Amino acid sequence: MKAGEQAERTRARCQTLARFSEDCEGTRRTFLSPPMRGCYQEITEWLRPLGVFARLDAAGNLRGLYPGETGTASRLLIGSHVDTVPNAGAFDGILGVALAVALLEGLEGRRLPFAIEVVGFSEEEGVRFGIPFIGSRALVGRLDDDLLNHKDSNGISVRAAIEDFGINVNEISQARVGEDVLGYLEFHIEQGPVLENLGLPLGIVDTIAGQSRMEFIFAGHANHAGTTPMHLRCDALAGAAEWILAVERTARAQPGLVATVGAIDARPGVTNAIAGEVRVSLDVRHGADGVRHMTVRELIRQAEEIANFRELRVEYKTLLDQRAVAMDSSFADQIAVAMTETGCEPHRMVSGAGHDAMILAEKVPAAMIFLRTPGGVSHHPSETVLVGDIERAIECGLRLLSQLAESQQVLKRTCRA
């Protein structure tokens, strides 16, 4: 099959899987929901002609092993997640699984000095249980009893969801990766506008940004909107609004940093009353944890300064402090060579979103290749990807596999550095 035809088929496969959904209109596929079974069956059929028989591990991840040369003990993992957010697009996550299959097809039966394991992670988005990365946590041994006992909005635990899917939850430990795993490679749409603005089809992820998530509470005095003079007000919403603009100014002044206030809850929340209390969220991300932490401290200082000036009170708490995760530098260098060989500029970049690769990086060398996202749109039905970019990704991936196969020493140096 020609490269262009293979790219078109890969794109069409993603669109086919988008039909496996919990919703009649739009795509929503959460952890081990009924549509997940149909999705897995479809992927299994893609793998069967390649001599790969997929299985489910005890965390509900789909895993299929493409054997290497006779006597091969090592394996390279390639994959991404199969679950989606509500009202999702057709390519977030699942494109990485479809591309893994496309690479196996592109080998045309050739065996490498290592096996390739295709992995479709059962959960990455955190939609059903409010906890992300259930699938990849299992591979690094972090799917513990506390997480297994966590319940969704219907009172069903992670443990029960696994058992209801017909899987033996007591075999969780068998899902862990061992010393035979050389590394993990993940293809993913960028979910942002950077590559498109640069006119590039592919990018290399150097680092997955760290995240700080916080809640701030500005407290003043609720009062009548019509009878309270402006100079006698303690308006919590006005104070919060001033601080929100300060967040934007601070983020704009620091290259590579993004900061977002995405949720506002003003109380009492009626037209004719001054807000007495406002709760706002804060999300700060950067590839360097030092920069992120420094920014958070500065935003706290500004919140306190604004509150003091306006005679308000401010409280805050940290909800998440996720460290930045660097991808394996030697693995990334090999990808850069492969991109160059296939005529792509090897642009290095930071991922502002979290991915399964950041979890796998705890145990094995991990690397990510981004594909351009037209319009920078993701987590929405209009999310798309260009066939030509998929073709470039397949070409780059096959070149990378050939490089790694050229010498076991190169492979070990790349993946164990």
Hey, how many other C-beta atoms are within 10 angstroms of the C-beta on 233?
A: 17
How far, in Å, CA of 235 to CA of 240, rounded? 9
Predicted local confidence at residue 2, as pLDDT: 80
377 vs 129: CA distance, rounded Å: 25
3-state SS record for the chain: CCHHHHHHHHHHHHHHHCCCCCCCCCECCCCCCHHHHHHHHHHHHHHHHHCCCCEECCCCCEEEEECCCCCCCCEEEEEEECCCCCCECCCCCHHHHHHHHHHHHHHCCCCCCCEEEEEEECCCCCCCCCCCCHHHHHHCCCCCHHHHCCECCCCCEHHHHHHHCCCCHHHHHHHCCCCCEEEEEEEEECCCCHHHHHCCCEEEEEEECEEEEEEEEEECCCEECCCCCHHHCCCHHHHHHHHHHHHHHHHHCCCCCEEECCCEEEECCCCCEECCEEEEEEEEEECCHHHHHHHHHHHHHHHHHHHHHCCCEEEEEEEEEECCEECCHHHHHHHHHHHHHCCCCCCEEEECCCCHHHHHCCCCCEEEEEECCHHHCCCCCCCCCCHHHHHHHHHHHHHHHHHHHHCHHHHHHHHHC
* CA distance readout (Å), 251 to 19, 286, 292, 318: 39, 10, 10, 19
CA dihedral 17, 23, 25, 29 (to 10 degrees): -30
CATH number, domain of 199, equals 3.40.630.10
What is the Cα gyration radius of the chain?
A: 24
Number of domains within the chain:
2
Domain boundary among 296, 322, 348: 322
Domain of residue 90: give its range: 3-208+324-416
Residues 313 and 332 in one domain: no
Residue-wise over 14-37: b if at least 16 C-beta within 10 A, else e? Answer: beebbebbbeeeebbbbbbbebbe
Same domain, 96 and 67: yes
CA-to-CA distance for 110 and 108, rounded, in angstroms?
Answer: 6
pTM assigned to the model: 0.90
Whether residues 186 and 313 fall in one domain: no
In the numeric block, the tokens 């003990």 are attached to: 73
- Cα distance between residue 262 and residue 281, in whole Å: 6
What is the structure's pLDDT at 417? 45
d(CA 77, CA 125): 20
Spatial distance between the Cα atoms of 366 and 204, rounded to a whole number of angstroms: 12
What is the C-alpha to C-alpha distance for residues 239 and 217, in angstroms, rounded to an integer? 10
Last residue of a domain, one of 305, 322, 339: 322
270 and 380 housed in the same domain: no
Task: Classify residue 156 as exposed, middle or buried by CB count within 10 Å of its CB (0-12, 13-18, 19+).
Answer: middle
Tens of pLDDT, residues 11-61: 999 999 999 999 999 999 999 999 999 999 999 999 999 999 999 999 999
Q: Are residues 67 and 180 in the same domain?
A: yes
Residues 255 and 170 in one domain: no
Q: The domain that contains 214 carries what CATH number?
A: 3.30.70.360
Q: 269 and 386: one domain?
A: no
- 10 shares a domain with 126: yes
Looking at residue 160, its pLDDT comes to: 97
Instruction: Check whether residue 366 and residue 301 sit in a common domain.
Output: no
If asked whether residues 145 and 61 sit together in one domain, one would say yes
Please list, in sequence order, all residues whose beta carbon lies within 8 angstroms of the beta carbon of residue 406, skipping any fewer than 6 positions away: none
pLDDT digits (tens), the chain, 417 positions: 787 899 999 999 999 999 999 999 999 999 999 999 999 999 999 999 999 999 999 999 999 999 999 888 899 999 999 999 999 999 999 999 999 999 999 999 999 999 999 999 999 999 999 989 999 999 999 999 999 999 999 999 999 999 999 999 999 999 999 999 999 999 999 999 999 999 999 999 999 999 999 999 999 999 999 999 999 999 999 999 999 999 999 999 999 999 999 999 999 999 999 999 999 999 999 999 999 999 999 999 999 999 999 999 999 999 999 999 999 999 999 999 999 999 999 999 999 999 999 999 999 999 999 999 999 999 999 999 999 999 999 999 999 999 999 865 445 545 544
| CA atoms of 234 and 56, how far apart (whole Å) | 58
Say whether both 263 and 332 belong to one domain: no
Pick the last residue of a domain from 322, 353, 372. 322
Residues 146 and 42 in one domain: yes
**What is the pLDDT, as a whole number, of residue 348?**
97
